[in-house]
Structure 1
Amino acid sequence: MEDKIVLHLSDSFHTNFSGIKRLFEFYKLASEYYNDTIYIDFYHLIWFDANLSALFGSILAKLNNENNLSFSTDLNFLQEHFDVLFRNGFLRSKSALDDEQKSTVSFRSFKPDDKDGFIGYIENDLLSHRGMPNFTEKEKDDIIESLIEVFCNIQIHSKSEEPFYVCGQYYPKQGFLTFSMVDLGVGFLPAIENKTKGKIDNSYDAIKWALEKKNTTKGKPGGLGLYNLNSYFNRTNGNFQIISGDTFWSLELETTVMKKFHFPNPYVGSILNLFFNYQ
């Protein structure tokens, strides 16, 4: 009888470079297996930011599609210690768990052509959440418009036909709500390198270019989505992270000497993490 494959998720996973890097490492380890079942050991997990379900869910789906891998784990242990992963819909149990704390923004995936479904989710799940700040109407409209532009860019820029994954989590004690979006396309660089005729040749500069007002790789006006999001989080002391290619960029890092971090084992596509300050 063959030994079963066991991969461990231990310690803490926060929405920062370290937490994301370790999920990328999980992907790399798992991607070496094919046509098998991997048992995920969570027994030494201390903390998992529930909004990272968007990234983790995309990883499991990608491994299932490309390597024909399935996954098993001790669901009873997870339900006892990490019930938030059931309350946000990432995991399913026989007894449905209600999100009584109203702290989660549900884990969902959208096909790239399901713009209406995505808009409904943004309006009904994200922006109406109790953990959201008191927006002005203009701020709310700008955020909806910006997120729609991000969603529409998946098809245009990233050449992705894979689903787009989202999930959010409200942290009342810390006073912020984090919302994560993950696409499995080619990332920022290819379209921007092409648009700039090779002047921009690395992921950090591509992210910075995409954040500039009105920079767009489309042939028509656009490019306000990321600029407006960046402006909003700058103004409200929130945070904003973009992960694409081998680069981790964040609004917080821009004021430090570091500016960016590089992943030794990059994933695919791009990840946006939005940190809304509850005001």
Structure 2
Amino acid sequence: MHEVHIYLDNPKTGIHHIARSFEHIDLSLNEDINVNVYHTRNYGINVEVFPILCSIINELRAKGTTVNLNFELPPGCHQLSYASRMDFLMTLGLEYEYNKKRHNGSSRFIEIQKVRPGAHGYDGDLAAVLQNNLKMTADEAYDPAFMLSELICNMGIHSNSENGAYIYCQGYPNRGLVEMHIADSGIGVTNSMRKNEKYKNSCDSDLLNLALQFGEGSGEGRGHGLYFVSEFLRRNKGYFHILSGSKGIIIDNGVESEYKIQNYQGTVIHLRIPIQCGIRVDAIMDEQGYEL
């Protein structure tokens, strides 16, 4: 049986830490896995760890692997109440008694939701959901809705995940931003691009950078989704983080950085989108001569 140990004591523990926790496992062996999550000090937990955990664990389960998830918590720890309220624990198959009155969608978040495999978009009016749940105006919701729809479409077309993807959103009006998380554990951006003959011998590092350029892709889509999302956030001083294959790229306040891991088979994206933006996504599309 495989053992995975994840430590959440540091509130900076994020996407790449979770991905690295599973690197040593040979998933082709199809052995049972114990995932042990430690939170021994009563600090806050970085919310971005939960979508990737839901994706990895439920992808393994969809492929027939038995995954046992165990949380080790300090006495009186209340940090999992938030995870329960956002439906992360239910999605992971855990029962947790959340005693506080459950909030409805007016609390400016969209609980984690599963996107079915092969989806070409969100099931419903995403802009209306953002307006209702995150208390945004129609104008404020337009660009975030477009970007999340593009990412959902990308993952539906390219990921080849047996379990689909997971999305989660939360609005922070006092900080003037919306956070969005989307994660799948399919074949990843880089392996998808290798379906294109001209990229079949390219390395992960080159391919992930190419994926953020206009018109580049596997040849199965239009090759613009990641470009529009990353370019919008680059110009508006937002935050864009993508991890796929052996590389992660972060664009934060217009500054780009990269990091390496051994491998993450799927794709995880984390966005922080300014609600008030000087440059709209329509303007970026116009530059490229692109129309919806």
Normalization by structure 2: what TM-score?
0.73
Matched, 1:130 2:127: no
Q: CA deviation at 1:242?
A: 1.2
Equivalent residue for 1:58?
A: 55
Q: Provide the alpha-carbon RMSD of the alignment.
A: 3.6
Inter-partner Cα distance in structure 2 for 1:8 and 1:187:
22
Q: Which of the numbers 87, 90, 97 marks the counterpart of 1:89? A: 87
Equivalent residue for 1:111?
A: 116
1:9-34 Cα offsets, whole Å, 9 max, x none, are: 232244xxx62222123334677894
Inter-partner Cα distance in structure 2 for 1:179 and 1:172:
14
Equivalent residue for 1:23?
A: 18
Equivalent residue for 1:69?
A: 67
**Distance of aligned partners of 1:95 and 1:193 in 2 relative to their CA distance in 1, 3 Å threshold:** closer
**Distance of aligned partners of 1:131 and 1:229 in 2 relative to their CA distance in 1, 3 Å threshold:** farther
Inter-partner Cα distance in structure 2 for 1:201 and 1:274:
27
Equivalent residue for 1:244?
A: 244
Gaps of 5+ in 2: 91-95, 277-292
Q: How many percent of aligned residue pairs carry the same amino acid?
A: 20
Inter-partner Cα distance in structure 2 for 1:68 and 1:78:
30
Equivalent residue for 1:267?
A: 264
Normalization by structure 1: what TM-score?
0.76
Q: CA deviation at 1:187?
A: 1.1
CA contact (8 A) 2:120 2:157 kept: no
Equivalent residue for 1:165?
A: 166
CA contact (8 A) 2:181 2:269 kept: yes
Gaps of 5+ in 1: none
Inter-partner Cα distance in structure 2 for 1:36 and 1:160:
20
1:51-89 Cα offsets, whole Å, 9 max, x none, are: 432112112223444531222336896872342111111
Q: What is the number of equivalent residue pairs in this alignment?
A: 264
Letter in 2 for 1:165: Y
Q: CA deviation at 1:243?
A: 0.9
Letter in 2 for 1:120: G
Q: Which stretch of the first structure deviates more once superposed, 121-130 or 186-195?
A: 121-130
- Give the secondary structure class of the aligned counterpart of 1:267: strand
1:92-127 Cα offsets, whole Å, 9 max, x none, are: 5345652378253211112124556x3437335445
